[in-house]
Each structure stands twice: as C-alpha cells, then as structure tokens.
Chains A and B, each alone.
Chain A
Amino acid sequence: QSVLTQPPSVSAAPGQKVTISCSGSSSNIGNNYVSWYQQLPGTAPKLLIYDNNKRPSGIPDRFSGSKSGTSATLGITGLQTGDEADYYCGTWDSSLSPNYVFGTGTKVTVL
C-alpha cells in the first residue's frame, strides 16, 4: 500500500494539457526530491523527471515537474497518442529505513 497518492486516471484530447498530482507527507515528499516515471504498455518504466523538475537528456520539454510542500505535480503539454501510459512518482520515505516509495500510479488516456 503506497503512501504517495495519485489520481487513478486523467484524460484529455490530443494537443491538450494534463496534470498529475502526487500527494505525500513530511516524511517523504516534504523533505526529499521527487522523480517521475513513464511506463508504456508492456514495457519497463522510464525516467521522466528527477530532482522535482529536471529532465534527463532526450525527454521533451512537454514534460515538466514541480513540488510544493508535501505534493508534487507532473505536467504534460501538447498531449500525443504516444503519451498514453501509466505514470508514477517516487521518493524516499524516512518514516521507515530504508524505504523508497512509489505513487499509486496514474493512467493517462488520450481521447
């Protein structure tokens, strides 16, 4: 049972924008940096965002991340059909040591 809560699903039309929230607490998001992962159907997860808002090389700037207090947000602009995937946030949780926690996951559907 994850301690990071995400909406089960979000959807939008091609070209539109979606945001995915990741809600935690002071023991995880509140005191650590957040990363985000994209998992296309039938494939391994892929790093999208690290250190709250940094993109690895090769990740388009349509993907953005932010953090405020004990919540983080992933934004996807200019939505494309290829963006249909599950998205997970992740960070350390200091309430149990050691313990890395992932969010519950959000399915993005392009209408």
Chain B
Amino acid sequence: QVQLVQSGAEVKKPGASVKVSCKASGYTFTSYDINWVRQATGQGLEWMGWMNPNSGNTGYAQKFQGRVTITRNTSISTAYMELSSLRSEDTAVYYCARGYRRVRSYWFDPWGQGTLVTVSS
C-alpha cells in the first residue's frame, strides 16, 4: 500500500537546524510531488512547500523562503525537509504528504504520520 513514513521526534535549541525525512513506498517515488505541512499544537495546517522528486524542482511558501530546503534521494525514495534558524514558534508537528497535480487542482494523499519538532533552550 502507498505509505509515507517519517523520521522520529527531534528536540533542537533556538538557532539550530532540523532535517526531517519522509520515506515513500508502494508507488513510484518520482511520479508525484512531495509536500511539507506543519501544525503547531492546537492550531491549523500550514503549507510550507513542495518538491518534484523527478526534477528536483521546488517551491516554498513565502513565509519560509530562505529558511526551508526540500531535497530528495531517489535511490532510497526519501524526501527531506530542512528548516534552519529555528525559533520557539517553529515547535510543531511536521507532515509530509504526496501531492496530486492537475490543472487548477491539487490535493494531498496520503500523509505521513508526522514528526514532532520541539525548539527549546
């Protein structure tokens, strides 16, 4: 079955970077986008960016431009999201999600299980 499995929880200090992985299985990794979405405790969903695993092309939400980098290793069907210059407001659960793209339409299915990133001194 199609599945996205993420790496485990992380605790980081302010100013540090974190890199979360997302391993895909059950489908051809290079055929669909991978997106990253985060959710602070008790808050809503916030889209961070996308990547085309075939070309490596990426697109980032303006809020995270310059701080987030999405990469991939196609040989192991794994995508990565690195967020730098961490601050306490970055404490959240980070999800990867496979993206379906059509003209004027885009949706996410499935989602990874989520990775809690805690930023604390």
Interface residues of chain A, those whose CB is within 8 Å of chain B, are 2, 31-33, 35, 37, 44-47, 50-51, 56, 88, 90-92, 96-105
Our pick among A50, A51, A102 for the contact of B47 (Cβ within 8 Å) is A102
Q: A2-B44, A105-B45 are in contact. Are A46 and B107 (CB under 8 A)?
A: no
Chain A residues lying within 8 Å of B29, measured Cβ to Cβ, are none
Chain A residues lying within 8 Å of B46, measured Cβ to Cβ, are 102
Q: What secondary structure prevails in chain B residues at the interface with A?
A: strand
Q: Across the interface, do A35 and B107 meet the contact criterion of CB distance under 8 Å?
A: yes
Q: Across the interface, do B111 and A46 meet the contact criterion of CB distance under 8 Å?
A: yes
Number of interchain pairs (Cβ within 8 Å): 76
Q: How far is the CB of A88 from chain B (nearest CB, A)?
A: 6
- Give Cα A91 to B101, complex, Å: 11
Q: Across the interface, do A44 and B61 meet the contact criterion of CB distance under 8 Å?
A: no
Q: How far is the CB of A97 from chain B (nearest CB, A)?
A: 8
Number of interface residues of B (CB under 8 A): 27
Q: Across the interface, do A45 and B108 meet the contact criterion of CB distance under 8 Å?
A: yes
Tell whether B15 is near chain A: CB-to-CB under 8 Å.
no
- Give Cα A105 to B109, complex, Å: 18
Q: How far is the CB of A41 from chain B (nearest CB, A)?
A: 12
Chain B residues lying within 8 Å of A32, measured Cβ to Cβ, are 104-106
Q: Across the interface, do B50 and A98 meet the contact criterion of CB distance under 8 Å?
A: yes
Q: A44-B112, A45-B95 are in contact. List 19 more A-B contacts (CB 8 A).
A: A2-B44, A32-B104, A35-B105, A35-B106, A37-B45, A44-B111, A45-B45, A45-B108, A46-B109, A47-B108, A47-B110, A51-B105, A51-B107, A90-B45, A96-B61, A98-B59, A98-B61, A100-B61, A105-B44
